[in-house]
Each structure stands twice: as C-alpha cells, then as structure tokens.
Amino acid sequence: MAHIASARSVVGSCRSNATARKSRATVRSRRHLRGRARPCRRPAAPSSGPAAPLYWGASIGDQLTGTQAPWDMEAVERFEGLAGKSLSLVNFFAPFANCYTSPCSFYRFAEGAMENIRRHGAIPVFSWSSQSIPSTLDEPAFQLSDVTSGAYDDYLKDFAEDARDWGHPFFIRFNWEMNGNWFPWSEGVNGNAPGEYVAAWRHVHDIFTAVGATNASWVWCPNIDPTRKFEDLASLYPGDDFVDWTGLDGYNWAAGRGSPWSSFDALYDDTYHRIVDSIAPQKPMLIGEVGTTEGGGSKAAWIGEALDAIPSSYPKVRGVLWFETFDDGMDWPIETSPSATSAFSAGIQDPVYRPNDYSGLSESPILPPG
C-alpha cells in the first residue's frame, strides 16, 4: 500500500498530536441524523439470581485536562476521582487514515496508548473505522469494497502484526453503528452495497487471524433502534466465528434533538433482545457508548436508573462505557451537574462494576469478568 511506511513515522506518536485529537471529534460527527427514540415501553425482564459482574469505563474527552485519554492518563485519574472508583475499560478512537495531509498518512497500531491503559490495570477498547479524516459520507477511496478487494491489505497486515507483537488482550470495536446512515462504512451510503459490510468485517478479521493477532477480541456494535427504522441487524452480523462480543450504542438525546425524554429501558430493551434472543445468543455484550443530556428531565435519575438496570435486567451485558465527552454540542459527561456526578458515583460503587485489576490479563478472546 502506497505511503504506508512514511505514515508510520508521521503518526507513530499521538500523545501530543493535535490531528489525532481532531480525528476523534470528526469520527463522532453527524449524530443529528439519528432517529428519535420512542417513549417508554415494556421494561426488560429482570434476570434471576445475583447480577453478574461487569467491566466498566469510559471514552474520556479533553475537557478534564486538555488532552483525551489515553494520550493523557491524568484524564483517566480525574474521571476516576469524579466517579470515586477505578475503571476497568478505556475506549479510544482512530480511523485508518489522516487525509488532512497529502498524501494521506495511515495510523499505526497505538502501542503507547495500549500500554498506558494496560499499566493502569484497565483493558483497552479500540474503536477502529475503515475511513479517512476529514470524515464525510462520500469517501470513494474508503468504500467497503476497497477493503475486501485488498486495497488496504498491506496496511492491515502491518497493523495486525504490530497488534500481535504487543501481545496483550484488547477489544477491537470495528466499524460501529453500521446499521445507521451517518458513517461512511454503512451500507446504502458511500457506494456501499448490501452484503459488503459483513464481507469487509470478515476480510479484516481474517488478516488478523492469519498473522496470529489473536489477542484482539472483536466487538460488533450496532446502534440502538427502538423504532426499527435502521438496517436489519441480522443481515449485518458477521457470524459467530467472526465476533467475540456483541455491543450496543445509544443516547438519551431528549431536548438536545427535540426528542422525548426516554429511559434507558425504552432506548435499549428492544434492540438488546433482538440481539441476545436470536442474532447472537451465545455472545456477551458490551455497551460501547451511552450517555444522557441534562435537558428535558433529571440526568441524575436517568444515570442512577441505568446503572441499576444494566446488571439487573440485561444479563448479557458484561461491560459498559460511558461517553465522557462533549460532542455535537451535547452535555454527555457526568460532571455537567453535581447531582449527575453524585448519581454516577453512587451507582458505580456497586461491586458488580469491577475496578482496574486487569494489567495481567492474558486470556484471548477476553472473557466476561468472573
């Protein structure tokens, strides 16, 4: 792949790289295209027996220290100070390439960031997307067919080999929220045809397997779809042999998008059950992104109810990541009010949410906490 070698030297260090921070904001753009959630519906049925333990953590923006985690681990420590507990997951984002420059430079495996997280005792969650920045829905050089045709095989092979050589377990959340229409890797946008999402996923997964990068645990993470307006989930599922964990992303936008205030159950229950009852009943689930606004209701009450509902009523969910980032003008972080901070801290104290005791983790694929 042209320019891959030079890309390694350009993007190899991200701790002070303003472009890398910009990529995170760009990748999360266009949330305003999402559909509205319907009001409260039937609550999820509670599970029987004691709740199973969960990993927990966050995607931590630059509002706490000026630099996002994990490039600045002080941001993690400050978030933990607000939560009153050490976290066991840290999520961060990167696309394939940075095309603000010409020629494009490609992001290498972020070993330093991975090590920052591991040494903290947490498990890295890497959200990786087959796109370039600046991100648009029209990226003809980064269509799903480009991935499956082998156009990026040299890059993918080098990336996978670096992941293998690092050697520690991590989650890879590849091309998330694929059932929506706001990212260029979704079918129906950017020239992507039906069936190409699964083909691209399997192609990338096969490259990791071929080079022995089995320390990556693959997370298939659609967006919640309580009104069933997005793409059919079953047609987008790569198959049990290519997925280690399922996932879900979803937010209570409420007044932020002129939507009704919706509880966690109203947002998550229907899509959760479609996945765990029929699509992938044997897989554990990771909530990859979740948050709520202050506008239109009680953020504190929403947080408390969500942190209680997840372990008690969603037994397949064995990990959760709060979206601790200001994005699209929305007030997702827990520190937007003292009551929200207190509610999060109170909820996360439940011992079901496991702290940072995973620096020595060696099992692959990663199992739910025991």
Contact predicate 125/89, CB 8 Å: yes
- Summarize the confidence of residues 324-337 as an average pLDDT: 97
Contact predicate 218/245, CB 8 Å: yes
Q: How confident is the model at residue 16 (pLDDT cuts 50, 70, 90)?
A: very low
Cis peptide, bond prior to residue 169, ω within 30 of zero: no
- State the average pLDDT for the chain: 90
Can you give the pLDDT at residue 358? 98
pTM score, two decimals?
0.89
Q: What is the pLDDT of residues 218-244, one digit of tens each?
A: 999 999 999 999 999 999 999 999 999
Residue with the larger pLDDT of the pair 144 and 38:
144
Instruction: Give the least confident one: 16-30, 206-220, 322-336, 338-352.
Output: 16-30
Give the Cα separation of 190 and 196 in Å (integer).
12
319: number of Cβ within 10 Å: 28
- Summarize the confidence of residues 316-339 as an average pLDDT: 98
pLDDT at 19 over 80: no
Q: What is the pLDDT of residues 257-311, one digit of tens each?
A: 999 999 999 999 999 999 999 999 999 999 999 999 999 999 999 999 999 999 9
Give the Cα separation of 366 and 347 in Å (integer).
25
Contacts 24+ apart (CB under 8 A), 98-104: 98/10, 98/11, 98/19, 98/23, 98/132, 98/133, 99/132, 99/133, 99/134, 100/19, 100/22, 100/133, 100/134, 101/10, 103/2, 103/3, 104/3, 104/7, 104/132
Q: What is the pLDDT of residues 63-107, one digit of tens each?
A: 999 999 999 999 999 999 999 999 999 999 999 999 999 999 999
Contact predicate 123/54, CB 8 Å: no
Q: How confident is the model at residue 18 (pLDDT cuts 50, 70, 90)?
A: very low
Q: How confident is the model at residue 50 (pLDDT cuts 50, 70, 90)?
A: confident
Can you give the pLDDT at residue 49? 74
Q: How confident is the model at residue 9 (pLDDT cuts 50, 70, 90)?
A: very low
Give the Cα separation of 109 and 56 in Å (integer).
23
What is the DSSP track for 6-23? HHHHHHS--TT-HHHHHH
Residue 74: partners with Cβ closer than 8 Å, 6 or more residues away = 64, 65
Residue with the larger pLDDT of the pair 365 and 27:
365
- Walk me through the domains of the chain, giving residue ranges and CATH numbers: 4-30+50-354 (3.20.20.80)
Provide, rounded to the nearest whole percent, the portion of the chain with pLDDT above 70.
Answer: 87
Q: How confident is the model at residue 48 (pLDDT cuts 50, 70, 90)?
A: low
Give the Cα separation of 115 and 361 in Å (integer).
13
Which H or E element spans position 146?
A: helix 144-148
Residue 94 phi/psi, 5-degree rounding, is: -160, 145
Nearest to residue 71, comparing CAs of 133, 18, 5? 18
